[in-house]
Each structure stands twice: as C-alpha cells, then as structure tokens.
Structure 1
Amino acid sequence: MYELALKRGTEWLAIGGLRPTRQRVALASLLVGDGEDRHVTAESLFAASTKSGEGVSLATVYNTLRAFCEAGLMQEVVVDGSKSYFDTRMDDHPHFYWEDTCELTDAPVDQLEITRLPDLPAGTEIAKVDVVIRLRKV
C-alpha cells in the first residue's frame, strides 16, 4: 500500500510539473496516496506527516501546499477570512463548514443552483465563486 501511495504522489506531482523532492513526495502521498479527495489544513497535514515518521517542518508544509496550489493540483478554501483549508478536488463544488468541529467537507454540487450574481464593477471579471455553507448542530 505504501508503494502505491508513493507512486500516486509522484504521478500527481508530475501532473503539476513539480520536481519530486523527498518532502513533496511525502506530503503528496499523504494527500492523494489512497485515491481519495482531502480537505486539510497545514496543521493537520503537518500532524499526519509527523505521525507517518516524515521529518517535514510546519513551514515546509505551508510552502509545499502553496506550491501545490500554484501548480493547479489543489485549491485553497478560506473560511472566516483567516482559516485556510486545502482541497485536492479541483472541480467547482460547494462546501459545508462544520462550526462545531471546524471541518470542511464537500457539499452536493448537483443540488446547488446559482441563478444570478451581482453586476460586476467596470473593468473586472469573476476569478472564482466560492460557496461555503456554514453548519452547526441543533
């Protein structure tokens, strides 16, 4: 299983045109090694890398996540203007943010309908529309 995770991580880096350094391969393997999509924070990925025995600093995790985003391998989802989650699923889709657990999960894209957006200021274009639906248990 570990070899398959390393292979998937290395192939994922190649898709983004990134050099497969030891740290990048280790983090990529944690993110995509099992073939599942992930929503991680830098801190949660750092904890997973520490648990797996990889010697990767938190600063390296932050820098690597930014490099993955710049390479088009992940997208950043900002919650509350300061909390960043990194998503390996790259298609346009909404998210649920669970306030009680501070967890970000995918919401059903087929149930979301945006029928109209506000008029844009002159000289601008939409770069992206993020939909984060905040939830709390009742």
Structure 2
Amino acid sequence: MNADPIPTHPPDAAPRRSVSELLADAGLRPTRQRLALGELLFGEGGDRHVTAERLYEEALAADLSVSLATVYNALHQFTQAGLLREIAVDGERVYFDTNTADHHHFLLEDDGELYDIDGANISVSDLPRPPDGLRVARIDVVVRLRRA
C-alpha cells in the first residue's frame, strides 16, 4: 500500500514561485545580480522590510559581488515592476517591502524595525479631493512607536 506523498505546501496555498519566474512575470530580465538579490529578498518566502544598506550587507555576507549602487538600482527596478513597495518613513530612511498588498506599518523608532498592520485595521476618512487630473494611488500610514 502506497502512502500519499507529503505536500510541500499547504493545500490552499500556491507553491512558491522561483525568483526567475517572479522576475520574468514582472517583465524583468533575470540577470545574475537580480537573481542573487531576488533570492535574498524573496527566497525565504516571508514578508520582509529592508533598506538598501541592509540588503547590501546581506549580499556581502553571502559573498555576492555587487555594489551598493547595484542594490539600489535593483530595488528600484523591483519596485517599478510591482515586486516591492517603497516606504519612505522620513527624509533619510527608505524601506522596501516584499508585501505589496494593502497594509500599513508600525515603526519602532528605537531600532528602525517595521511591522505590518493589516490594511483593514486602519480607516482614513475626509481626504481632500486631489487636483484635477490626479488620483490617490495609495495611502501609507506609519505609526511610530517607542519602548515604554
């Protein structure tokens, strides 16, 4: 009697796509550097918030030969292709989020970590009407926290 194979993913979840498939589906050529940085960003499958500097440090630790400029370029290309969401929390820090669904963030100011807030948990009302010819693309709420 043959046992059923053990599933590699929950029955209601789609199998994880490879980084090369993600890039191809987003219209990006899978260069060596994009693939390597994509593995760092998407390889674990969980949602992440990273700065360019943090991803650069991870790339160096993984013995990847990339410059900080290459990391910035790849992050901006991934964002333009819809694979990442850019979150500017102040004039100096920009995070890139692998979770592109509608949601907001807690920012722990003590250490600069971002945590997701489900989009349904925040209500924004009474927005001013945008100027003619423009529309609201997205609303980002960042709730700043400090340890008590």
Which residue in 2 is equivalent to 1:132?
142
**1:110 aligns to 2:110 (yes or no):** no
Residue pair 1:37, 1:89 contacting (<8 A) in 2 also: yes
CA apart distance, 1:108 = 2.8
Aligned counterparts, 1:1-138, within 5 A: 8-138=18-148
CA apart distance, 1:8 = 2.1
Structure of greater Rg = 2
| Number of equivalences | 132
Larger helix percent: 1
Structure 2 Cα separation of the partners of residues 38 and 133 of structure 1? 18
Gaps of 5+ in 1: 1-6
CA apart distance, 1:52 = 0.9
Q: Which runs of 4+ in 1 moved over 3 A?
A: none
CA RMSD across the alignment: 1.4
Structure 2 Cα separation of the partners of residues 8 and 98 of structure 1? 32
Structure 1 Cα separation of the partners of residues 80 and 112 of structure 2? 25
Q: Deviations over 1:17-60 (max 9, x none)?
A: 11111100000001011111111000000011111111111110
- Kindly provide the amino acid, as one letter, of the partner of residue 55 in structure 2: L
